[in-house]
Amino acid sequence: MALLEIRNVTRRFGDLVAVDNVSINIEAGEFFTLLGPSGCGKTTLLRMIAGFDLPDGGQILLDGKDLAGTPPEKRPIHTVFQSYALFPHMTVTGNVSFPLKMAGKSPDEIAVKVKEVLDLVHLSDKGESFPHELSGGQKQRVALARGLVNRPRLLMLDEPLGALDAKLREEMQIELITLQRDVGITFVFVTHSQAEALALSHRIAVMNAGRIEQMDEPSKIYSFPVNRFVADFIGRINILQAEVLEAAPDHLRIRIPGMGEVRAPAKTGAARGQKGVLALRPEQVRIAAKIDDVADENHFPGKVRDFLYVGDITTYIVDLNNGARIEALLPNSATGRAKFFEIGDAVKVAWPKDAGLFLND
């Protein structure tokens, strides 16, 4: 049985359907991520799980028991708020011991557990500090410690890294993964950052306008987005208008208007005449100087329009002669990568015939 079961949950605010018939099963021990653009209903869903808001339809079950009618304080679910929500009039120790006090634990047990969890988040020396004396990263860790200390069945984290700068955010991501593995508590993590979601999660639910577009492991979502929204939202991707010319059992023949014919991997349900897009990851696209390097792939001539060198990789933007524009991502460490292309260079753009994904409208 799933630890948390969200069954056809809907929440409306007037005419707006903030959460639209959402169903999710979250297993014990999972690092589950709700990913979606801001305003897509992530917080609304969390608030219903926490008990601050009630669904207009559907059920939320924990260990198979309907949570309707259970107030927030009675749910073994804790939340790490985006704003941290530390109690400003309590020290770090006061904040972290709060859930234990509410649970009626003995002072001895509280002392032991608080020390344990503060060690875990590397804040042992900050016990007597007040929240306003801490840096953003430290506050974040106090909020985490406070959420974990009483070992809830479920810890929900609402964009917890949103307020941190890039470097700290990366450090905290690594700490979060380690922490979740070590404590074994189920995490429901909310973010609008696809990179964060891919890096942290066991499973991701991609949300859009209150609905779940796709729910799967990060690599599946990245490699096999089910529709254009997911493809576009997760990672960088080339989206080319496309029409199916032939749907063979082992491949598709696709026409890209203004560009020509390409081959793409077969797709169930694809049929001749279907219109849609061909989604192509930049790292699947290569660029080369000469035609014979790429003869057996889908290939088109073009000119380098721009490039972005970021150390380990370079992203090239190539204008194809037929007017389309394609992004290609080349690792700078690739063997035989002697030549870097310059703006204006005439090149060939190519991708393997088994790369790309046809997504019908």
- The window from 5-13, 29-37, 143-151, 279-287 that contacts another protein (CB under 8 A) reads 143-151
Enumerate residues 39-78 that contact another protein by CB under 8 A: 50-52, 71-73, 77-78
Q: Applying CB under 8 A, does 140 fall inside the site for another protein?
A: no
- The window from 13-21, 236-244, 280-288, 321-329 that contacts ligand ADP (CB under 6 A) reads 13-21
How far is CA 157 from each of CA 114, 133, 140, 231, rounded to the nearest angstrom?
20, 23, 11, 25
* Beta bridge mates, 301: 348
Cα within 13 Å of Cα(324), Cβ side: 17
Q: Applying CB under 6 A, does 42 fall inside the site for ligand ADP?
A: yes
Other beta carbons less than 10 A from residue 300's beta carbon: 20
CA distance 114 to 127: 9
Q: Applying CB under 6 A, does 333 fall inside the site for ligand ADP?
A: no
CA distance 241 to 324: 10
Shortest separation between residue 19's beta carbon and ligand ADP, angstroms = 7
Q: Applying CB under 8 A, does 313 fall inside the site for another protein?
A: no
Q: What secondary structure letter does DSSP report for 341?
A: P
Shortest separation between residue 40's beta carbon and Mg ion, angstroms = 9
Q: Applying CB under 6 A, does 257 fall inside the site for ligand ADP?
A: no
Q: Applying CB under 8 A, does 130 fall inside the site for another protein?
A: no
Q: Applying CB under 6 A, does 214 fall inside the site for ligand ADP?
A: no
The token duo for 88 is 């400003």
Instruction: List the strands of the sheet with 16-26, edge to edge.
Output: 16-26, 4-13, 57-62, 65-66
Query: Looking at beta carbons only, is 78 or 126 nearer to another protein?
Result: 78
Other beta carbons less than 10 A from residue 90's beta carbon: 14
CA distance 273 to 289: 34
- Report the residue from 41, 99, 210, 218 that binds another protein according to the rule CB under 8 A: 99
Q: Is 64 left (phi over 0), alpha (psi -120 to 50) or beta?
A: left
Q: Applying CB under 6 A, does 52 fall inside the site for ligand ADP?
A: no
Shortest separation between residue 81's beta carbon and another protein, angstroms = 4
The token duo for 166 is 């890039």
Query: Looking at beta carbons only, is 38 or 106 nearer to ligand ADP?
Result: 38
Consecutive H or E run containing 353: none
- Sequence-distant (6+) residues with CB within 8 A of 125 are none
Query: Looking at beta carbons only, is 61 or 103 nearer to another protein?
Result: 103
- Report the residue from 3, 6, 44, 95 that binds ligand ADP according to the rule CB under 6 A: 44
Shortest separation between residue 96's beta carbon and another protein, angstroms = 10
CA dihedral (309, 315, 317, 318) in degrees, to 10, reads 110
Buried b (16+ CB within 10 A) or exposed e, 206-231: bbbbbbbbbbbebeebbeebbbbbbb
Query: Looking at beta carbons only, is 72 or 265 nearer to another protein?
Result: 72
Enumerate residues 21-60 that contact Mg ion by CB under 5 A: 43
Cα within 13 Å of Cα(113), Cβ side: 23
71 binds, among Mg ion, ligand ADP, another protein, none (CB under 5 to 8 A by kind): another protein
Shortest separation between residue 82's beta carbon and ligand ADP, angstroms = 9
For binding to ligand ADP (CB under 6 A), which residues are involved? 13, 16, 18, 36, 38-44
Interface residue list for another protein (CB under 8 A): 50-52, 71-73, 77-79, 81-83, 85-89, 98-99, 102-103, 146-147, 150
Residues that bind Mg ion (CB under 5 A): 43
